[in-house]
Amino acid sequence: MSTVNESEESRSREGAWARPVDRLKVGGVPAGAMNLNVEGRQLTGPLKGFGQMWQKTYKVRVTGAALAPKEVIKTWKAQFPEFWPGGNYFYGSLTGIAPGDVAVLNLAAPAGMRLSTGVLVIYADDESFTFMTPQGHMFAGMITFSAYEEDGVTVAQIQVLIRASDPIYEMGCRLGVVHKAEDTFWHGTLQNLALHFGASGGVEQQNALVDPKMQWREAKNVWHNAAVRTALYTPVYLVRRVFGR
C-alpha cells in the first residue's frame, strides 16, 4: 500500500511541473496591457544573473482564521492578482495559477512609469507554486509561494532566490532602491492576503547573502533590460492607446 501511495504522489508531483520550454510564448492579454519583454524570451534562473545572489524569506501568520495551509494556497492561486499592491498588474490565466502558465506583468515604476516583464509558472500543486523570471526582468531567479502550519497557526510565505539580472539593476540594488521596492512589494502582497482572511499580522523578513560575487560573464544581460526597453517603448504605447492602434 505504501508503494502505491508513493507512486501516486510521484505522478502527482510530475504533473505539477511545467514542461521545459526554450522560449516563452504569451497568450492573449487584455486591451490596454503593455505586452513587452516576454514573448520569445528565455528563462533566467539565479545562476544566470549578474549580481549578488540573495535568498529572502517573507512570511505572515494568518492568525484568527481557522484555515489549513492548502486552503490558503487554493485561494492564493485562484485570486493571485488581487493580492498585489495597487498600481501593479498580473495578466495570467483567468482560471488561476497552473504549471506552464506565462504571465505578463505591468509593474509600477518611478515617475508614474510602468515596467513590462513576465514570469513562467514552473511548478504548482496544492501546497505551493513557483515562478521563474525571463531575460530582462529585474532579477534572475525563482519565487516560491507556500503555506504551512506553525504552532497551530497557518503561515503564508514567499521565498525568493535572486540575482540582479544585469549591471544596471545591480547598481540599483547596491543603492538600496531595487531591494527596497522588492521588499515593499512582497510585504504588501502578504498583508493583503492576510487581510483577505481577516488576519492582520505583521510581515516577518529574513535575508541571506548566498553569493557575494558578481558574475561578469553575465553583464551582457543588459541588452534585455526590461526597464530600459519599456521606457523606450512607452511613447509608442501611449500614442497607440490614444489613437486606438
d(CA 140, CA 209): 15
Lowest mean pLDDT among 114-118, 171-175, 221-225, 231-235: 231-235
User: SS3 for 43?
Assistant: strand
Q: CA–CA separation, 73 vs 89, rounded Å?
A: 20
Query: Looking at residues 219-230, what average pLDDT do you find?
Result: 95
Q: Are 108 and 160 in contact (CB under 8 A)?
A: no
Q: pLDDT band at 32, cuts 50/70/90?
A: confident
Instruction: Map residue 62 onto helix, strand or coil.
Output: coil
Domains detected in the chain: 42-238 (3.30.530.20)
pLDDT at 15 over 80: yes
In contact, 55 and 161? CB cutoff 8 Å = yes
The answer to whether residue 6 scores a pLDDT higher than 60 is no
The DSSP result for 207-242, as a single string, is EEEEE----GGGGGGGGG-HHHHHHHHHHHHHHHHH
pTM of the model: 0.91
CB 165 within 8 A of CB 225: yes
> Is the pLDDT higher at 63 or at 55?
55
Residue 12: band (very low, low, confident or very high) from pLDDT cuts 50, 70, 90 = low
State residue 34 phi and psi, 5-degree precision.
-90, 105
Average pLDDT of the chain to the nearest whole number: 90
Residue 175 corresponds to which cell in the numbers above? 543603492
The DSSP call for residue 36 is -
Least confident range of 94-98, 208-212, 238-242: 238-242
Q: How far apart are CA 87 and CA 95, in angstroms?
A: 22
- Give me the mean pLDDT over the 154-179 stretch: 97
Quote the CA–CA distance of 39 and 134 in Å, as a whole number.
Answer: 10
The residues that bridge with 150 in the sheet, in sequence order, are 153
At residue 201's C-alpha, the angle toward residues 92 and 98, to 5°, is 20
